[in-house]
Amino acid sequence: MILNRIIIGQTLNSLPILREILRHGSVGKAATALGVSQPALSAALKQLRLHFDDELVIRSKGSMKLTPRAESILSPLEDALSTLHDIIAPIEESPLRQQTVLKIATNDHIMATLGGPLSKLLMGEDLDILPQFLSAGGHSAQQLVSGEIDYVIAPKFVILSSGVNVSALKLINSELLFSEDLIGVGHKDEGALLRNLSEEDYLNYPHASFEIDADKNISMEQAFLVANNFVQNDIIRFSSYAALPSAITQTHCIALVPRSFAKMLEALITIEVFKPPIEFPPIEWTLIWHRRNDDIDRHVQFRTILKSCSLHVAGSINRSDDSRA
C-alpha cells in the first residue's frame, strides 16, 4: 500500500512536467516555463519515457517532434490537470458571493471599446463572473494554453504565429466578435496633405506605430508591412493605443489605428482622420479560448454576453462608416 502511494504520488508530480514538455516539444523551453534546470527536466523526461514506454519527443529534421503516443496524451492530460486543479483549489471564505474571475488578455483599445457596453450588460445579469482585462503580449498564447488566462481577444493570426506547439493549437477554439478597417490619423494642421499622400509618401512619413510585442511582428499593421516587403518610417512604437495621440499632436507623426479608436480621437480638435493610400486588410477581433472551457456554464454565459456586446460595437462602427459615405 505504501509503495502504491509512492508510485501514485510520483506520477501525479510528473504530470505538470509532462504537460510542459508536450506543449513545448522542447526540454529547454519546458525547463524555462517550469523554472527548473534543464538537467533536472532531462532526468524527469527519462523517467517519463520509462513510465510510458515511449520516447514522447524525438528529433526530426533538426527540430523536436511529438511521437504519436505523446500526441494522444496531450489533450486528456490537459483535461485531467484542469479537473485536478478545480478539485484541490482552496476555497476562500468571503462575506460576499463568490465570483469566478475570467482573465481576458487584449490591448487597451479593445478594453476601452468593449468595457462600457460589457459593463452595462453585466449589470443587468445575475452572474457569478468577474471579467478581468489584462494587457496582452507575445506570451499570451502560451498563457492561454497553460490556463493562466481564460481568453485572448486579438486577430486570430496572433495565436497561430505565436510559436505555440502545433498539438496545443489543436485545443484552441475561436469566434469572430467584430471586424473593422484600419485608417490613418494625424495632426489636423496637415489634413490636406495627409488626404493626398502617395504610397511612397505614406511610407516615408514619420510614423508612431502600435506593436504589442517588441520581439515579434504581431500587430496587424506590422505583420502586413513585413509580409508585403514594405519599409515604413517608424519613429516610435507603443504597446498601447492610448499613447499614440500624444505622439501625433506633439510631433506631427501619423499612425494607423482601428476605425473605432479613430472615432474616439475625433473628439480631439488636433486630430485628422484620413484613408491611407495602402489597402490594409480589415482587423478581425476574435475571441480565442482553450476548449477546456467549451461547456462550462459560466464561460458559455460570458461568451454569449460578450457576443451581444460586440454586435452593439459593430453596429456603432457601421453607423460611423455610413456617415462618411
Report whether pLDDT(180) > 60: yes
Give percent above pLDDT 90 in the chain.
38
Residue at 87 is within a domain: no
Distance of alpha carbon 24 from alpha carbon 31, whole angstroms:
10
Classify residue 214 as exposed, middle or buried by CB count within 10 Å of its CB (0-12, 13-18, 19+).
exposed
Query: Looking at the structure, do residues 133 and 261 belong to the same domain, yes or no?
Result: no
What's the CATH number where 227 sits? 3.40.190.10
Query: Looking at the structure, do residues 302 and 160 belong to the same domain, yes or no?
Result: yes
Q: Give pLDDT, residue 187.
A: 92
Query: Looking at the structure, do residues 8 and 67 belong to the same domain, yes or no?
Result: yes
Report whether pLDDT(9) > 50: no
Give the SS3 label for residue 243.
Answer: helix
Report whether pLDDT(239) > 70: yes
pLDDT digits (tens, 9 = 90+) for 150-165: 999 998 887 776 666 7
Query: Looking at the structure, do residues 190 and 274 belong to the same domain, yes or no?
Result: yes
Residue at 81 is within a domain: no
pLDDT digits (tens, 9 = 90+) for 41-83: 787 778 878 887 888 778 776 667 778 887 887 777 777 767 7
pLDDT band at residue 134 under the 50/70/90 scheme: very high
Q: Give pLDDT, residue 48.
A: 79
Report whether pLDDT(148) > 60: yes
**Range of 244's domain?**
182-281
Query: Looking at the structure, do residues 186 and 277 belong to the same domain, yes or no?
Result: yes
Give the SS3 label for residue 289.
Answer: strand
- The average confidence (pLDDT) of the chain is 82
Work out how many domains the chain is built from and give that number: 3
**Do 151 and 289 meet the contact criterion of CB atoms below 8 Å apart?**
yes
Q: Give pLDDT, residue 49.
A: 83
Strands 283-290 and 151-154: antiparallel
Distance of alpha carbon 176 from alpha carbon 144, whole angstroms:
17
Q: Give pLDDT, residue 110.
A: 94
What's the CATH number where 28 sits? 1.10.10.10
pTM (whole model) above 0.75: no
pLDDT band at residue 97 under the 50/70/90 scheme: low
Angle at 106 between CA 34 and CA 109, to 5 degrees: 155
Q: Which residues contact 146 (CB under 8 A, 6 or more apart)?
A: 23, 33
